[in-house]
Amino acid sequence: MDRIGQAFRTARAEGRAALIPYVTAGYPTLEQLPGLVRSLTRAGADVIEIGIPFSDPLADGPILQRAATEALAAGTRVRDVLRVVSQISTEAPPLVFLTYINPVFRYGIEEFARDSAQAGVAGWIIPDLPWLESRAVRDTAQQYGIALIPLAAPTSTDQHLKAIAHGHGFVYGVSVTGVTGVRDAVDTGVETLVARVKNFVDLPVAVGFGISTPAQAREVGRVADGVIVGSALVKTIADHRDACEEAAYQFVRGLREALDNLSAKA
């Protein structure tokens, strides 16, 4: 069961933050997903987020919007993503789906939980499903051994942080008020955010939204249990479409080394 927790414990035992890269399924093509996941695994990812593209991704910035639009234009279907993921999950670190509530709702919450579990998926992140609305979804997911990952934002109240203490997997700390994207600097509020979450919640806290470089990963890795990198990786893939597996490997390897160095220095 708790594969996600195990991944964080392993990283911690090695004295570093867990590394969580994100890729959009179907971008550049769905056929390339297994190769990309193998690259990320080889490069040292501890958990991998796989985005199921949605037509109206309102929590995403331009890079992930474009990836989703292209993936959908190429005909990426939810069922096909599940099929491809089921072929790779046994040889990968814990896989977590990132998608929006409407594709899940439309598929059927129970059916999507069942098929995700069968595909070997360990968790779901649904950025437009706030904790207050998530009761039915998280109970159903839980029945199938899937963790609905709670999110905590800079604006979140103590009351929210108390509520998500009952969550599973890890807490996704949203580093900024904003959408996903590549940013020049880590928001100064990250340390406070992590400390506030830890005050209420025993789960590991991974921070994402805007983390783009090894230096930023190191900075966040100092205060958080995990570092999530999405847009910067997808941009790397976009910039090297014909050799994206190797480019993704190099990029994620660089992030992982930054986190390893942190443990060496500490």
Question: What residues are labeled active site?
Answer: 49, 60
**Closer of 77 and 166 to another protein (Cβ):** 77
Q: Is 132 helix (H, G, I), strand (E, B) or coil?
A: helix
Is 104 a binder of another protein (CB under 8 A)? yes
Is 243 a binder of another protein (CB under 8 A)? no
Q: How far is the CB of 177 from another protein (least distance, A)?
A: 5
Stretch that binds another protein, among 1-9, 55-63, 83-91, 256-264 (CB under 8 A): 55-63
**Closer of 14 and 133 to another protein (Cβ):** 133
CB-based burial, 190-201: b 16+ in 10 Å, e otherwise: bbebbebbbebb
Burial of 185 (0-12, 13-18, 19+ CB in 10 A): exposed
Contacts 24+ apart (CB under 8 A), 130-135: 131/160, 131/163, 131/164, 131/167, 132/163
Which of 27, 124, 131, 170 forms a contact with another protein (CB under 8 A)? 131
Task: Look up residue 221 and give its two tokens.
Answer: 């890795």
Number of residues engaging another protein in binding (CB under 8 A) = 40
Is 105 a binder of another protein (CB under 8 A)? yes
Is 70 a binder of another protein (CB under 8 A)? no
Burial of 157 (0-12, 13-18, 19+ CB in 10 A): exposed
**CA–CA separation, 23 and 118 (whole Å):** 21
Q: How far is the CB of 160 from another protein (least distance, A)?
A: 7
Which of 5, 35, 103, 145 forms a contact with another protein (CB under 8 A)? 103
Which of 106, 162, 166, 241 forms a contact with another protein (CB under 8 A)? 106
Please name the residues in contact with 245: beta carbons below 8 A apart, sequence gap of 6 or more. Answer: 32, 35, 36, 38, 39
Is 171 a binder of another protein (CB under 8 A)? no
**CA–CA separation, 258 and 175 (whole Å):** 19
**Closer of 53 and 93 to another protein (Cβ):** 53
Ranges within 176-215 binding another protein (CB under 8 A): 176-179
Residues in touch with another protein (CB under 8 A)? 54-59, 61-62, 65, 69, 72, 77-78, 101-107, 127-133, 151-157, 160, 174, 176-179
